[in-house]
């Protein structure tokens, strides 16, 4: 008995040691945010549009973008990076508008549409408005060389309320891969494939942040519109990160510091998806992704070349790339001679 107790104590100690080491590893990986070099807004950005609906923070580290009836003829406000970038890591802590925000899109994205209107590249994170009490939805998208007819969008739910507090959203872009992050969780990775050709974003881009009225499509496919009685809609951005290779705006050539910046970029914590982060990404995609172009066989009978099909995800999605229908039982008072409970079929993450 004493020997058995000794063995149990030994096993318990080993388990505690394992848990301690596990926590240390987690802490090391979760130190993601502490390795980022944030800048003041004036060091890297300028106001784009929105007149009086652009409000710098008192400490100069962030801004508020507002949307109301007076946001101008385009019903939007936003800001833009002062430079074009040829790859980099772009990040911000963002807090979204609260209450009823249907039809409102808050976007954090890279684009060069102003420079290449017919062959532009784009990397998007777009929040798609919300009805109070529902899970927030957002999408990521990738365009290269004007390939808007071959959009590579994915849609997801968030596992928290992004209007309650700030969360970090990030875009990592190099010549070989693209990653999107929510806090320390990589939610999407696209590895460049030669067969993609010009569809892979490869031209210098600026970083943008905007809030705008997208009533025609954003929330449940346009079913719910912006209601300006809840205005102003306020989105907040702070702790901004612009870590990348800047490009001469006229010659569009990399600046002399690019080699050093690229080396720093490729060696940074966020440049590699560790086994732990890959498990977190897999879990996120299995649980929170409700549409992916890679699984949309009606649109792409042959998946685009960069797609890696996960059988566990494929089994959850229909042939149009959307989450399978679920069966929901609605109980009602039982009537003599009837069986209680109606079955209602619905797509639980309707666009």
Distance CA 306, CA 199 (A): 10
Distance CA 209, CA 79 (A): 6
Is 266 tagged catalytic?
no
Q: Which two tokens stand for residue 116?
A: 């290449």
Instruction: Point out which residues pair with 289 in neighbouring strands.
Output: 156
Residue 308, phi then psi, degrees to nearest 5: -115, 115
In order, the DSSP letters of 254-272 are B-TTHHHHHHHHHHSGGGS
Distance CA 185, CA 278 (A): 9
Residue in 99, 98, 96 with CA at minimum distance from that of residue 107: 96
Which residue among the candidates 126, 154, 236, 306 is catalytic per the annotation?
126
Distance CA 14, CA 347 (A): 47
Which residue among the candidates 43, 122, 236, 346 is catalytic per the annotation?
122
The DSSP letter of residue 240 is: E
Task: Give the list of residues 6+ apart from residue 76 with CB closer than 8 angstroms, or none.
Answer: 49, 50, 67, 210, 211, 212, 213
Is 346 tagged catalytic?
no
Distance CA 27, CA 29 (A): 5
CB 310 within 8 A of CB 282: yes
Instruction: Point out which residues pair with 181 in neighbouring strands.
Output: 170, 186
- Round to the nearest angstrom and report the end-to-end CA distance of the chain: 62
Composition of the chain by helix, strand, coil, percent to 5: 25, 35, 40
- Residues designated catalytic: 122, 126
């Amino acid at each position: 008995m004493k020997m058995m107790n000794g063995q149990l104590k030994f096993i318990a100690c080993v388990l505690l040691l394992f848990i301690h080491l596990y926590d240390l590893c987690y802490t090391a990986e979760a130190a993601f945010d502490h390795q980022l070099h944030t800048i003041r807004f004036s060091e890297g950005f300028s106001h784009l549009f929105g007149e009086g609906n652009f409000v710098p923070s008192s400490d100069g580290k962030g801004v508020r973008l507002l949307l109301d009836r007076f946001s101008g003829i385009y019903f939007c406000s936003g800001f833009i990076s002062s430079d074009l970038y040829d790859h980099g890591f772009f990040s911000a802590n963002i807090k979204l508008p609260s209450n009823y925000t249907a039809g409102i899109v808050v976007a954090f994205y890279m684009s060069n549409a102003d420079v290449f209107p017919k062959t532009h590249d784009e990397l998007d994170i777009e929040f798609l408005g919300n009805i109070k009490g529902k899970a927030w939805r957002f999408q990521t998208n990738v365009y290269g060389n004007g390939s808007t007819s071959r959009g590579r969008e994915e849609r997801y739910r968030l596992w928290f309320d992004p209007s309650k507090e700030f969360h970090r959203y990030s875009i990592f872009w190099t010549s070989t891969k693209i990653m999107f992050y929510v806090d320390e969780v990589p939610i999407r990775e696209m590895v460049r494939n030669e067969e993609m050709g010009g569809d892979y974003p490869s031209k210098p881009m600026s970083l943008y942040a905007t809030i705008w009225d997208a009533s025609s499509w954003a929330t449940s496919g346009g079913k719910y519109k912006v209601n300006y009685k809840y205005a102003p809609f306020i989105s907040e951005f702070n702790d901004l990160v612009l870590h990348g290779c800047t490009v001469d705006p006229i010659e569009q050539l990399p600046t002399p510091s690019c080699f050093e910046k690229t080396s720093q970029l490729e060696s940074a914590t966020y440049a590699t998806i560790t086994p732990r982060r890959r498990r977190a990404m897999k879990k996120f995609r299995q649980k929170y992704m409700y549409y992916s172009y890679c699984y949309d066989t009606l649109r792409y009978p042959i998946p685009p070349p960069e797609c890696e099909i996960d059988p566990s995800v494929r089994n959850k999605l229909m042939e149009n790339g959307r989450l399978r229908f679920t069966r929901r039982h609605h109980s009602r008072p039982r009537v003599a001679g009837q069986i209680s409970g109606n079955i209602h079929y619905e797509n639980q993450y309707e666009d």
